Amino acid sequence: MVHNSIKGKLRRKKETMKSLRMERKNKRKNASSTAAAGSSSEAAMSEAIEPSSSAIRAIEKKPPLPLDSSSTQQVKQDVNKISQSMLIKLYNFCTRRPKANEELSVVVSMFGVHLNRRDTYTMKPKGCVSNMVILAAGKIIMEEEKETNGTVTRHIFSPQFMNKVKCDLNLSNEDSHKTWCIDDVSVFILPSKLGYEVYQCKLIFAPTLFEEHWSCYVLEPKDKTLYVLDSMRDTLSTSKKNLDDATKRRFEELLVLMSPGSTKENVSITLVYADVPRQKNIHDCGIYVLKYMEIWDGSVKWQDKTMPDYQYKEIAQFRQSLLCGWVQHPKNEVREKILEAAGVWGKLS
């Protein structure tokens, strides 16, 4: 009996101990699950506030959204159309026939030259450009080259230079052959007036209006070659041949006056008729001369010629782009006034 009683107590004790162990094990398991859940929650909260480095890398690897190229292109086309329409409006304003009280109104004023409404009217389609347009264009080309490169390599005489050659040619036979002295041409060549030595320029241009037609002489001082650029040269009239010979002689006299060590005996210029394309009408000769002054350098670049064979639409576009470019030039002193009067102020890109 006693033995059985002891055994019963031991069994109950074991069961109690087992129950306590199981209870402690369950508590530890529950605590671990709670901690894991808390850690996961904290990690999720942390990633929501600040993405992990792996998340950042995943975002960086995503390709950017493609641009709608068609929409972008359409916007550019719309802007170009508006800008072009404003340029046409400005061009039409500057080239419409001026009223009597508008003829002397200045449209372009810079670098000491001025173009009034009477001058810009000659830049209209089929217009014969005025002396002042040629003079202004030459001055602008030289000043822009000086500002960009610090020097002038393409000197452009004003049309008055060739007016003097023509005037001397029309004098009596004795006076027409009188040799020029420095006083005769100082206004055209003196460094004190120009700021540089003309004979050191690569090319010297002399735009010429003769018998209601514009052409251009170009002297290359280094090679002593005088080129004749004429967009309507087919047969050479006697009067034009006389002018060519007189111009050659006057340029030889200029070289003697300008170049140290040059004398009448050692200066001989070769006259060459440049192969340039013909104009396709009777009124665009002045625009061809403006393009000679701008780009001609004697090099053969366009199908065995030294100038492109322009089409009529291109010549018409030159008229517009040249005039509108001068009006919009930042140095044009009346730029804002003209753009406002034309109704395009703030509308040109």
The predicted-structure confidence for 96-125, as pLDDT tens digits, reads as follows 999 999 999 999 999 999 999 999 999 999
pLDDT at 50: 46
Q: Is 108 helix (H, G, I), strand (E, B) or coil?
A: strand
pLDDT at 12: 65
Average of per-residue pLDDT across 194-218: 96
Q: Are 75 and 308 in contact (CB under 8 A)?
A: no
For 229-238, the pLDDT digits (tens) are 999 987 678 8
Strand ranges for 171-285 from DSSP E: 203-210, 213-220, 225-229, 270-273
For 15-46, the pLDDT digits (tens) are 666 666 676 666 665 555 554 445 544 444 44
Confidence of residue 314 (pLDDT cuts 50, 70, 90): very high
pLDDT at 196: 94
In angstroms, the CA 26 to CA 18 distance is: 12
Q: Are 240 and 248 in contact (CB under 8 A)?
A: no
Q: Is 219 helix (H, G, I), strand (E, B) or coil?
A: strand
Our separate counts of H helices and E strands in the chain read 13, 7
Is the pLDDT higher at 178 or at 216?
216
Q: Is 106 helix (H, G, I), strand (E, B) or coil?
A: strand
The torsion defined by the Cα of 328, 329, 331 and 333, in degrees rounded to 10, comes to -30
Is the pLDDT higher at 169 or at 23?
169
pLDDT at 266: 86
CB-based contacts of 200, cutoff 8 Å, min separation 6: 221
In the chain, what percentage of residues exceed pLDDT 70? 74
Q: Is 201 helix (H, G, I), strand (E, B) or coil?
A: coil
48, pLDDT greater than 50: no
Confidence of residue 175 (pLDDT cuts 50, 70, 90): low
Identify any residues that bridge with 219 across adjacent strands, giving them in sequence order. 204, 226
278, pLDDT greater than 50: yes
Q: Are 308 and 275 in contact (CB under 8 A)?
A: no
Find the range with the poorest average confidence among 65-69, 152-156, 211-215, 243-247: 65-69
